[in-house]
Amino acid sequence: MPLRSQDWFGRTGKDGFIYRAWMKNQGFPHHEFEGKPVIGICNTWSELTPCNAHFRELAEAIKRGVWEAGGFPLEFPVMSLGECQIKPTAMLFRNLASMDVEESIRGNSLDGVILMCGCDKTTPSLVMGACSVDIPTMVVSGGPMLAGRFQGRKIGTSDLWRFAEAYKIGEMSQAEFVAAEASMARSQGHCAVMGTASTMAAMVESLGLALPDNATIPAADSRRKVLAHLTGMRAVELVRENLTPSKLLTREAFENAIMVNAALGGSTNFILHLTAIAGRLGVNLSLDDFDRISAKIPLLTNLQPSGEHFVEDLFYAGGLPAVIRELRGYLHNDALTVNGQTIGANCVEAKCYDPEVIATVDEPFKPESGVAVLRGNLCPNGAVLKPSAATPALMQHTGRAVVFENIDDYKARVDDPDLDVDPSCVLVLKNVGPRGYPGMPEVGNMQLPAKILAMGIHDMVRISDGRMSGTGFGTVVLHVSPEAAVGGNLALVQNGDLITLDVENRRLHLHVSDEELAGRLVHFKPLDLGYQRGYVNLYIRHVTQAHEGADFDFLRGASGSEVKRDSH
Ligand code: FES
Ligand code: MG
């Protein structure tokens, strides 16, 4: 098969001159343009995405591998989303970044591409964009941070939620809080727990888009660069084999990713991102698939936020290959991966070196994992809950609703000493969905009212149309669909309504009659946040609901890699 890049660099006459001449200002000799596979290195380096701030150095390791294998590496930047920096939420821009990635790959002289992913949204946005082009693609993740150390113990992002509670009730001083910040993020890399970034890194490894161990080698470990180097080498072969994402990301690969995620107790954000990726490839993945496919998988790893250890510990214990090996009785072991071998063959020699971190299927860390997909009149199109991060005693619970109409209302009233709330209540937060916020932020694990925390209580049933950080925990119902902003029944909940959460029977029920709800709907007014122009206007008009992955309706599917016109 002729190389795609030769349609740029292999031209004679004026077009060839234009496509090569300006590239030569970088000092590339002419022979680089004469038929070497061109490997794009799609870099999300940014000082505003601190989890990816080491990517310039990591890109050099990838390039060494590409050169060594006879390829021609060309690095390019794309929009980078720093989870903890960008307002109002990085999720608002995931689809925008995916468009940047898609068009940057398609429009340029690339035969293959290596996606450099790290902080939460940088993985799905790059994978979504690349899948819509479908040239040979590999992922190199940036790797997790080393676990933090604070006051004599290990800490990670999940401790932030505990520290914030302690601070709120005066158990932690401002000075201690500041010291904890520096102690937590003490090395390069993304969040050190099984939050969304590590969930995404595990997702690409279990989908077969990355080399084994991509998910867990710490960012600061020199073996991360070795993996990058080997990925660069392999990408050149991948082009020769024309092994594209659509050949790897079959229904079976998606099912494998769902099962591995369940064994890890990965983030609920996994559901949104995997659904959006599947949508780009035309693989039909429904919310119920996540529940059904993960139902039989126990929690194998003892990692925060569902357990106690850190992602670096998972690497030392044998990494994702050891988890995959343990799951071999469940997985589609013959699913092909990007190194040309099946996922089963890749992990056949993997061993667990620390049963404290990776348990066995026979004696799992917790019997129930994965995601529970709830249905009922409060969420006709579904809602999700992560059982491994919830309180068992609350998974069957009926309580009186305490309603917050939006995030501002929540912030203004949650700590009011006069708030009519007790620990048996159900906190309901509206208008934090894809359109309502907009951008579906990670506020679903809303902090409990100060007076409840002061009672020593750390969990209550919470319900919203928003998301939760992958580092968060609690009995938290998320992704309620349809969301409040489009007139879902969530919008109609009133203070004092009774709500039943019944995880075992996958039910979420609002004890209000259909007639009463119809009466309330008459008074419902669609939200107008006043976004008249620009990207946010486009977003609100085209974002799909949570159960569909919150991608844009017009981005579903792929357009391939062909470009019919030249630039001159
Ligand atoms: Fe970047 Fe957690 S903030 S991965
Ligand atoms: Mg996050």
Any ligand 1 atom below 6 A from CB of 372 = no
Contact 447, 164 (CB under 8 A): yes
At residue 527, does pLDDT exceed 90? no
DSSP letters, 410-474, are HHHHTT-TT----TTSEEEE-S-STTTTTS--S-SSPPPPHHHHTTT----EEEESS---TT--S
Distance 285 CA to ligand 1 centre (A): 26
At residue 278, does pLDDT exceed 90? yes
Neighbouring C-alpha atoms within 13 Å toward the C-beta of 186:
14
Contact 300, 326 (CB under 8 A): yes
Neighbouring C-alpha atoms within 13 Å toward the C-beta of 54:
23
Any ligand 1 atom below 6 A from CB of 51 = yes
Structure tokens at 231: 């990925």
The per-residue pLDDT for 169 is: 87
Mean pLDDT, residues 312-333 taken together: 98
Portion of the chain with pLDDT greater than 70, in percent: 100
Portion of the chain with pLDDT greater than 90, in percent: 95
Which residues, listed in sequence order, are joined to residue 397 by a DSSP beta bridge? 501
Residue whose structure tokens are 């040239």: 135
Q: Which ligand does the CA of 467 lie closest to?
A: 2
Taking each helix axis from N to C terminus, what angle separates 287-294 and 269-281, rounded to the nearest 10 degrees?
A: 120
With CA atoms as reference, report the closest residue to 147 among 187, 195, 115: 187
Taking each helix axis from N to C terminus, what angle separates 122-131 and 269-281, rounded to the nearest 10 degrees?
A: 10
What is the dihedral sign for C-alpha 386, 392, 396, 402? negative
The per-residue pLDDT for 199 is: 98
At residue 353, does pLDDT exceed 90? yes
Nearest atom, ligand 1, residue 52 CA: 1
The per-residue pLDDT for 230 is: 98
Q: What is the 3-state secondary structure (H, E, C) of 502-559?
A: ECCCCEEEECCCHHHHHHHHCCCCCCCCCCCCHHHHHHHHHECCHHHCCCEHHHCCCC
At residue 472, does pLDDT exceed 90? no
DSSP three-state, residue 149: strand
Among left, alpha and beta (phi > 0; psi -120 to 50; other), residue 282 is: left
Determine the Cα–Cα distance for residues 517 and 433; give it in Å rounded to an integer.
20
Determine the Cα–Cα distance for residues 556 and 7; give it in Å rounded to an integer.
27
19-28, 116-125, 162-171, 514-523: which has the minimum mean pLDDT? 162-171
The per-residue pLDDT for 368 is: 81
Distances (CA, A) of 214 to 195, 257, 320, 328, 456: 16, 14, 8, 19, 40
At residue 91, does pLDDT exceed 90? yes
Could you tell me the domains of the chain? 36-146+187-347 (3.40.50.2300), 148-186 (no CATH), 372-527 (3.50.30.80)
Any ligand 1 atom below 6 A from CB of 191 = yes
Mean pLDDT, residues 241-266 taken together: 97
Determine the Cα–Cα distance for residues 184 and 425; give it in Å rounded to an integer.
33
The per-residue pLDDT for 526 is: 87
DSSP three-state, residue 4: coil
Q: Which ligand does the CA of 191 lie closest to?
A: 1
Structure tokens at 76: 């390019």
Which residues, listed in sequence order, are joined to residue 384 by a DSSP beta bridge? 373, 478
Distance 339 CA to ligand 2 centre (A): 29
Any ligand 1 atom below 6 A from CB of 190 = yes
Q: Any alpha helices (H) in 71-173, and if so which ranges?
A: 94-106, 122-131, 157-168
One-letter amino acid identity for 470?
Answer: G
User: ipTM higher than 0.85?
Assistant: yes
Mean pLDDT, residues 18-24 taken together: 98
Nearest atom, ligand 1, residue 51 CA: 1
The per-residue pLDDT for 456 is: 94
Nearest atom, ligand 1, residue 82 CA: 1
Distance 336 CA to ligand 2 centre (A): 30
DSSP three-state, residue 1: coil
DSSP assigned state of 77: E
Nearest atom, ligand 1, residue 50 CA: 1
CA angle 71, 75, 80 (to 5 degrees): 145
Distance 52 CA to ligand 1 centre (A): 9
State pLDDT tens for residues 192-214.
999 999 999 999 999 999 999 99
Determine the Cα–Cα distance for residues 160 and 320; give it in Å rounded to an integer.
26
One-letter amino acid identity for 549?
Answer: G
Any ligand 1 atom below 6 A from CB of 84 = yes
497 compared with 164, residue with greater pLDDT = 497
Distance 192 CA to ligand 1 centre (A): 9
One-letter amino acid identity for 218?
Answer: P
Contact 318, 350 (CB under 8 A): yes
At residue 1, does pLDDT exceed 90? no
At residue 471, does pLDDT exceed 90? no
The per-residue pLDDT for 168 is: 85
pTM for this model (two decimals):
0.97
State pLDDT tens for residues 441-466.
999 999 999 999 999 999 999 999 99
At residue 316, does pLDDT exceed 90? yes
